Structure 1
Amino acid sequence: MAVVIEMTARRRSPAPLLTRMHDRSPGLVDGLMGGALAAGLGLASFAVLVMLLWISSPYPDSGPGGAMHVAAALWLLAHGAELVRTDTLSGVPAPLGLRPLLLLALPVWLLHRAARDATDGGGGDEDDDFGEDTEAVASPPLVSPRIAWTGVVLGYLAVAAPAALYAAGGVLRPSWVWTGVCVPLVAVVAAGVGVWSAYGRPGRPLRRLLGLLPGGVRPLVLRPDGRPGVAARAAVSGAVVLLGGGALLVVASMVGHGAATQASLLRLTEGWSGRFAVLLLCAALVPNAAVWGAAYALGPGFALGAGHTVAPLASAPAPSLPPFPLLAAVPEAGKGAPVHWAAAVVPVVAAVVVGWTVATGAAAKERGGTKPGGARAAVWSAGRTARAAALASLLCAAVLAGLAAMSGGPMGSAVLSRFGPVWWQVAAATLAWLGLLAIPTAVGVRAWRCRSPRAEEPRIGKQRDEAAEGAQGRRRLRKHGRDRFTRTGVAGMAGVTGAAEGTGWAGGGEVRGRAGGDEAGGGVWDLGDPGVAWGTDNGGRTRPDASPADGTPSPHPSDPAPNAPRVPHEPGLRDQDRESDFGLFDFLPSDPAPEPYDAEAPPGRSCPPHAP
């Protein structure tokens, strides 16, 4: 029994052993499994789509094995690899390098998700547990980024290599050079972005990549907190406008050539399955068409075969093009018309957007002020604003050049060896448009944003000073007991009537009293002791005589009557007095017409009694 107790006491809990094993190898193992799973899911998706089209086809050219070879070849084509078609009429293999950009989205998303999950160690699924400890959720990932990234890339390539070997036995054979470059490049970049996202998108890795740039340029591309700088945001905005404008041009051209587009779809295939496949291919080529439309709007246009360029100034499409819905929307051959030249609106709008974005960043704090506890940011100089706009134009040109290179490619040999825009021509045209228009726009908008608030400052300051002087004057009058009431309307007219009956008009002057007359127990508006004679000062205002007949000082009209009961203060009247800055009779003429009650009473008739 003692031995059993001793062995039980010395037994080590299995939790630390499992923890050490989990800390040593699961990062690489999970990465390998995640990468392999991502590649397998991508291949399975393409295989399901191709098999569905093969089954629904009424006249399939090959068996299930041929369909699986085509699925593997399309999966490699989605990564950017070039294929070689062997079943040509001439017997000479023809290249196929036109890559549908939409097909690239699936492999990239799968790689990104696999790398992020491998870095988190499965912690991302535990965030939905409300009973989990807060410290565990906020803790950084346990897996090293290098281990997770290496595992995902190796696992993905471990599946891609057999898939390429399998696709080499079909009709569409992959080019080994393009396959060896494009597939690893996509895996490395997508997995790296996934690991970076798992760590909260820190800015340090990007700052290392931008270490070759000058010190004054790096903040324009990447801010110290890791967010994109002004030039980067402006470049992205310009690229989005160019691509969106290119897509709108394609849609407008297809609507204008609606009959030709429908006829090409009907002539290309007969069965519904074939037409469905054509529509899927058109959908996959929509991003390519947007890039081609942007190149057309910029001026260089795009090529539809060797020596046949489609541009706003002149179009010369190849005469032997197959019937295809997107190709049916190409403008007719010949010189451009004003409707074609109108496509230049797209780069103009993109340049204005780039310049406006840069100007907003250059004078961001001028109009909106500063945040609580923060200092006012200095407005950029005109030179720095121009440099930021030039850098944004350069970055936008680089983005459009890369997309143009990816969107084009050969469709065969001879005439079909060149399709799509030329990347360096697109880059030069983008830089020219944005450089000529974005830089002046940025400098002009920056100057406008800096000058407009200053022009409004004097008027606003004058109003503020006048309001302050008025408030001080009212406080001074209240302090000396000579505040004036400003209540108008029926009650004001009633006060005038009561005062006139008791004291009469002593001239055409302006009668002023105090809103506290009601509180003192007098008439509607108590203007003082009825027995006090009222005179007129030099300004035409009625005032009580300072020296009555008995020699005693006359009470001020604003002073309450002696022994008068006090009435609680009405905050509404006083609040209205504070907000108003005009007198009682500001809306009346300076010399009012005589009223019946202003005349003296005839002899033998008594005056109406006044309020005590």
Structure 2
Amino acid sequence: MTQVTERGTRLSAAPRAGVRRRSPAAAACVVGGAVAAGLGLGFLAVLVIVLWISSPYPDSGPGGALHLAAGLWLLAHGTELLRYETLSGVPAPVGVTPLLLVALPVLLMRRAARLGGASDEEDEEVLPATAVFSAVLCGYLAVGAFATVYAAGGPMPADPISAAWHVPLVAVLAAAGGVWGAKGRPLGPLPNWLPGGVRRGFVRPRYALALRAGAGGALVLLGGGALLVGASLAWHGAQVQASFLSLTGVWSGRFAVLLLALALIPNAMVWGAAYALGPGFALGAEVTATPLGFAGAPALPRFPLLEALPAAGPGTPLTWAAAGVPVVAGLAVGWFAVRRAREVSYGETALTAALGALVCGVAMAGLAAVSAGPLGSRRLAEFGPVWWATGAAAFAWTLVLAVPVAVGVHAWRYRPAEGPVAVDADAPVDDGWHDSGVRELRWEAMRKAAGTLVPEIVPEPAPLVPLGPPAVPAASAPAAPAAPAVRARRAVTVVAGLDLRPGPGPAPVAPPVPPGPPPVIGVRVLARRKPPA
């Protein structure tokens, strides 16, 4: 649609055309979000169907298997499932999310948002970050709502209230990470409505170092938890094997148990880290496993990973040795919190280490929260570590160790040189070796001190150029007029720091001036050299 002005010029509706060009890109982002959700659902559906086909005694048809796949997809987002087939007849919630399953929707959603915010062609218009984020999120949540409704007719339906906020939360975080990566990971300034001191403070290097130090401490804790779990599995190898073989006798069932155990390994790593930190993890009502003791009789189902639990009773020196894991984590936070700059003060280093300990505590609290959940009702309503206790313990361990370690590493790294240092009183202070003219003076002094070891290089004389009648003394008359000559123009290097003013006392007697061009005082004439190619 065009508009005609008074002069008859036609104006095209550019904003309307821009909206039309953007609508296919927005639709593509919506489809990308829906495809990301569909791929996750399809992967789990194929896996469940294969296990259902290979089972010799399937208890439901293919429809029940597909409903179960939809429930597992919602469980991967942290949604609680409800199990109605219980001995008491009371629905039992299942809220322990296998953390390895969470990686599937997160990676797919992040990839969809990243592709929506990128452009392969130069002339292709790229949508703003907010538009890409909204479009991808709409497509993903539409499929999530359909999966929630579809899983309601299966053996383990999802809790609608839990699905209403778990699925959007995971989708929002993954989409935000994808859009941020597509835009080149811009940190940028903070919003203008924040105080200026806050915006200036967050651009300091201490926050990047604190994030790196906290992430390093959290990784050390997770690695230590994995080490504890592996050592305990090897220690209780016979019990683990007996539990694995007693669950089912067919290879498809054992394969399913193995897959579930692999998906729960990240949960076991977090639980091992919580055990090493001290608070431990709950195994039901009033039953907690800590290094100081394991009291109570938990009502646990038979599962290979649960056979690696420590024996009931008070703690032993072997369980107390788990405290070495947070000690190493605190040392790691202190090491990574030191900046490679001499001008940083000790207070700044200590503050960076404290912020790194805070980041480590927050990260461990979040991991403990997502790795725990109920496995049933009554005695199994509490299962896993307590998030606030785990985060507080991680912060306390790393704070106590990281701050002195960071200060000590900073002091050792930038300690003064050992031994006496000879200082020349006549030498200029901070003259700079590479200043203009200083290198030539030092080389001249070294050549004179070396004597005949370093021969003097005399530059070739420059050609003489006649300018006019020369100035001659009055006592002598020239025999014949001769053209004066001066040397060709040479590069002049000014030596900084030379005092050319006459000092107090009698003026020195000037030496006789030889015939030729007048000398230049206070400068050093050097031949111009051709720069290297």
The TM-score with structure 1 as length reference comes to 0.65
Structure index of larger Rg: 1
Aligned with 1:183 (options 167, 170, 180): 167
Residues 291, 150 of structure 1: alpha-carbon distance in 2 compared, 3 angstrom cutoff: same
Residues 478, 188 of structure 1: alpha-carbon distance in 2 compared, 3 angstrom cutoff: closer
AA at the equivalent of 2:54: S
CA shift, 1:177, in A, is 1.2
Aligned with 2:157 (options 157, 173, 187): 173
CA shift, 1:316, in A, is 2.9
Counterparts of 1:17 and 1:218, CA distance in 2:
38
User: Gaps (5+ residues) in structure 1?
Assistant: 1-15, 127-135, 367-377, 485-612
Aligned with 1:143 (options 109, 116, 127): 127
CA shift, 1:216, in A, is 7.3
Partner of 1:414: 378
Aligned with 1:30 (options 4, 28, 31): 28
Cα deviations across residues 473-518 of structure 1 (Å, max 9, x unaligned)? 8733665x5889xxxxxxxxxxxxxxxxxxxxxxxxxxxxxxxxxx
Q: Secondary structure at 1:25's aligned position in 2?
A: helix
CA contact (8 A) 2:287 2:298 kept: no
Counterparts of 1:250 and 1:449, CA distance in 2:
37
CA shift, 1:166, in A, is 0.6
Counterparts of 1:292 and 1:408, CA distance in 2:
9
CA shift, 1:320, in A, is 2.8
Cα deviations across residues 107-126 of structure 1 (Å, max 9, x unaligned)? 011111111111124x2xx6
Counterparts of 1:18 and 1:301, CA distance in 2:
61
AA at the equivalent of 1:320: A
CA shift, 1:22, in A, is 6.3
Partner of 2:182: 198
Partner of 2:509: none
Partner of 2:417: 455
- RMSD between aligned residues: 2.9
CA shift, 1:461, in A, is 8.3
- Say which structure, 1 or 2, has more relative contact order (CA 8 Å, 6+ apart): 2
Q: How many residues matched?
A: 427
AA at the equivalent of 2:33: G
Partner of 1:446: 410
CA shift, 1:217, in A, is 5.3
Counterparts of 1:118 and 1:482, CA distance in 2:
72
The share of aligned pairs that are identical, in percent, is 54
CA contact (8 A) 2:41 2:73 kept: yes
Partner of 2:71: 73
Partner of 2:329: 350
Question: Bigger CA drift: 99-108 or 169-178?
Answer: 169-178
CA shift, 1:209, in A, is 11
Say whether 1:298 aligns with 2:274.
Answer: no
Cα deviations across residues 22-61 of structure 1 (Å, max 9, x unaligned)? 6231221011100111111111011011111111111111
Counterparts of 1:339 and 1:198, CA distance in 2:
48
Partner of 1:160: 144
Counterparts of 1:442 and 1:140, CA distance in 2:
50
Counterparts of 1:21 and 1:217, CA distance in 2:
40
CA contact (8 A) 2:22 2:127 kept: no
Aligned with 2:397 (options 406, 416, 433): 433
AA at the equivalent of 1:407: S
- Write out aligned runs for 1:538-553 (5 A): none
Say whether 1:97 aligns with 2:92.
Answer: no
Relative to total residues, which structure has the larger helix share, 1 or 2? Answer: 1
- Write out aligned runs for 1:316-395 (5 A): 316=295, 318-359=297-338, 361=339, 364-366=340-342, 378-379=343-344, 381-395=345-359
User: Gaps (5+ residues) in structure 2?
Assistant: 1-13, 428-438, 456-533
The TM-score with structure 2 as length reference comes to 0.75
CA shift, 1:333, in A, is 0.3
Aligned with 1:57 (options 50, 55, 58): 55
Counterparts of 1:117 and 1:158, CA distance in 2:
19
Say whether 1:475 aligns with 2:447.
Answer: yes
Q: Secondary structure at 2:299's aligned position in 1?
A: coil
Q: Secondary structure at 2:337's aligned position in 1?
A: helix
Counterparts of 2:92 and 2:421, CA distance in 1:
75
CA contact (8 A) 1:315 1:332 kept: yes
CA contact (8 A) 1:244 1:290 kept: yes
CA contact (8 A) 1:305 1:317 kept: no
AA at the equivalent of 1:41: L
CA contact (8 A) 2:284 2:299 kept: no
Counterparts of 1:157 and 1:473, CA distance in 2:
79
CA shift, 1:85, in A, is 0.8
CA contact (8 A) 2:299 2:380 kept: no
Counterparts of 1:98 and 1:141, CA distance in 2:
43
Counterparts of 2:47 and 2:192, CA distance in 1:
39
